[in-house]
């Protein structure tokens, strides 16, 4: 099967990426763990060219980012320049601004506004991708928010970056949704879900393969639908974040990725 290539989401190690020196050391650790690509998100201030020089030196690729939607709307030229310097095609928006989340009409507006920004990126050789959480699965009468985004956004330029944990957290099926966005998702987020009995049966984020998601089905769906990159992310780790990323990488290798 043509499985997606694996990247590390730097948001996972954000506490270790506050200065350029920290970022450099963290990139080297990711490479040693076995990652060849990263998603840039949650890092401290650094010049765009300096970061590009670092990843080139270490031997990593910047495959996707997460940026502020408001900044994309207000200053698309700077976002375009940033991604061109990084040789990164995929411009990720990590979440929908709060003002859009309150109603079905708000979701429609975001789909339209996001599509406008996505068209600007596409005209400059870049690709807009939207990362979900679980609030997108709230129901508005007869439709859920994610369906609104899927139906009302421009399929030519508006792509999705499904997060397996957050889809499950929203009460939906990650495999079904990977199939739903067929042709509109080059990037996926791999994140597992487990139960912490000590916290009153609370759902927690877990390393890939250490929780309860159906990884055989998820990885096969990604392969069947042409997903190119899978970024491993764990917003909250139960141990050292680098160790968590290493566990996920080892487990994915055992799965054939």
Q: Which helix (H) or strand (E) holds 217?
A: helix 215-224
CATH topology for 5-254 is: TIM Barrel (3.20.20)
Residue with tokens 């690709």: 127
CA 232-44-78 angle, 5° bins? 90
Contact 79, 91 (CB under 8 A): yes
Which tokens in the block code for residue 238?
Answer: 């139960």
Confidence of residue 199 (pLDDT cuts 50, 70, 90): low
Query: DSSP assignment, residue 126?
Result: -
Q: Read off the pLDDT of residues 138-194 as tens digits, 9 standing for 90 and up.
A: 999 999 999 999 999 999 999 999 999 999 999 999 999 999 999 999 999 999 999
* Sheet of 229-232, strands arranged across: 158-161, 127-131, 90-93, 61-65, 37-40, 5-9, 229-232, 187-190
Confidence of residue 231 (pLDDT cuts 50, 70, 90): very high
pTM of the model: 0.96
> For the chain, what are the domain ranges?
5-254
**What pLDDT does 9 receive?**
98
């Amino acid at each position: 099967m043509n499985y997606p290539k694996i990247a590390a989401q730097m948001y996972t190690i954000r506490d270790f990426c506050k200065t350029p020196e920290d970022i450099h050391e963290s990139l080297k650790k990711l490479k040693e763990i076995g990652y060849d690509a990263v998603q840039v998100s949650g890092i401290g201030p650094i010049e765009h060219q300096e970061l590009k020089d670092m990843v080139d030196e270490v031997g990593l690729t910047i495959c996707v980012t997460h940026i502020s939607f408001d900044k994309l709307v207000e200053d698309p030229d700077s976002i375009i320049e940033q991604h061109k310097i990084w040789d990164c095609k995929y411009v990720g928006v990590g979440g929908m601004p709060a003002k859009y989340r309150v109603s079905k009409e708000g979701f429609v507006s975001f789909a339209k506004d996001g599509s406008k920004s996505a068209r600007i990126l596409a005209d400059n050789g870049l690709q807009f991708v939207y990362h979900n959480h679980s609030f997108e699965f709230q129901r508005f009468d007869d439709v859920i928010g994610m369906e609104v985004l899927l139906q009302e956004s421009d399929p030519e330029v508006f792509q999705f970056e499904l997060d397996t944990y957050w889809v499950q957290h929203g009460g939906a099926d990650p495999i079904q949704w990977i199939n739903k966005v067929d042709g509109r998702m080059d990037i996926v987020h791999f994140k597992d879900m487990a139960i912490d009995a000590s916290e009153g049966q609370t759902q927690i984020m877990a390393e890939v393969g250490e929780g309860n998601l159906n990884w055989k089905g998820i990885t096969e769906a990604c392969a069947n639908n042409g997903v190119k990159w899978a970024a491993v992310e764990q917003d909250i780790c139960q141990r050292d974040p680098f160790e968590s990323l290493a566990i996920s990488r080892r487990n994915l290798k055992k799965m054939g990725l």
